[in-house]
Amino acid sequence: MTKDQYKRDSLIIIFFLHVSLYYQLGNSQDVPVLKECDPADSTTSLLDDNPYQFSICIEAHDVADMPTPSDLSIASSTLLRTSIPPAAPTEICNLDCISTLVNGNVDSAGEQLITLCEFIDKQANECGRRVLIHCADGYTETSLLALTYLIYKEHLRLPKAYLKLQETRSFFVYQNDVHALMQLENLVWEHKRSRNELDEKQHEKKEVIYERYPWFQSPFFEGSFPSRILPFLYLGNLNHACNGGMLKALGITHILSVGEDARLDPTEFKVILLDNLFDDGIDSLWKHLDGCVNFIGK
């Protein structure tokens, strides 16, 4: 394996995660560098080509100006002049997107996000162009647009969109954004309903659907899931451990708790509690390490 191949393979393992064939989330280091760019620039990719053939790169950040319909119209016209997939794109369209709805006008931002989702859907699914949604850490600021697109494209309610995205990758949503996301969900569904894009089953009341996801409305739910470190291993906090419904939804059956008792039903979960041990960076885990590793390994 050459050095360049190693860098490329490492990049896809660490940062580059598929949501769908044409719609993908990543770190800003995944953004391809055009030949006229300086590869030494820390804001651009380590790669000097575009191996995944991205035609559109959308950066999510908290001070973004949302693209206007006019901006998206110009972007569409520009993309028409580039090569047609599966040929490699000759030009990359770069756009911005907001990463939070806190302190913003949800109605206005929601309409802009719906318009952006329509643009992504057309370019990705009708034209076959690949879209990269990226942010600085590849984990936090992409979540708003990723969840919105799943709600829009797959006609999902927010809890189901959470689970759908988690199937592919871990992500993070601030607790203050959850209520705004629920408002945004209503806007997307009203938009779909006004265009007669929902079937009979999808006209079921939101309240009825939410009853199937009690973990989402639990006082222990902070807006995000624990982080998946390995296919079978999650890293979380006490509130995650206390939300038994969420653990079940994620398929988590065994809990290793350091110093805090989650008080889970022992008939539903296997729990190991390291009592009299504080998660303060001072108390040593050393004497417990073999038991912890054996518990995880089983």
Cα separation, 24 vs 165, in Å, equals 11
Strand blocks (E) in the chain = 17-18, 23-27, 54-61, 93-98, 130-135, 227-230, 233-235, 254-258, 270-274
Output the tens digit of pLDDT for each of the chain's 298 residues: 343 443 333 333 333 444 555 778 898 888 887 665 555 554 544 445 788 889 999 999 999 999 999 999 999 999 988 777 777 788 889 999 999 998 878 999 999 999 999 999 999 888 889 999 999 998 999 999 999 999 999 999 999 999 999 998 899 999 999 999 999 999 999 999 888 887 766 667 888 889 999 999 999 999 999 999 999 999 999 999 999 999 999 999 999 998 888 999 999 999 999 887 877 778 888 888 899 999 998 7
Q: What is the pLDDT of residues 215-246, one digit of tens each?
A: 999 999 999 999 999 999 999 999 999 999 99
pTM of the model: 0.85
Structure tokens at 157: 């309610």
| Residue position matching structure tokens 């770190």 | 27
189: exposed, middle or buried (C-beta count within 10 Å: 0-12, 13-18, 19+)?
A: buried
214: exposed, middle or buried (C-beta count within 10 Å: 0-12, 13-18, 19+)?
A: middle
Domains of the chain, start order:
3-212 (3.90.190.10), 225-298 (3.90.190.10)
3-state helix, strand, coil in the chain (%, to 5): 45, 15, 45
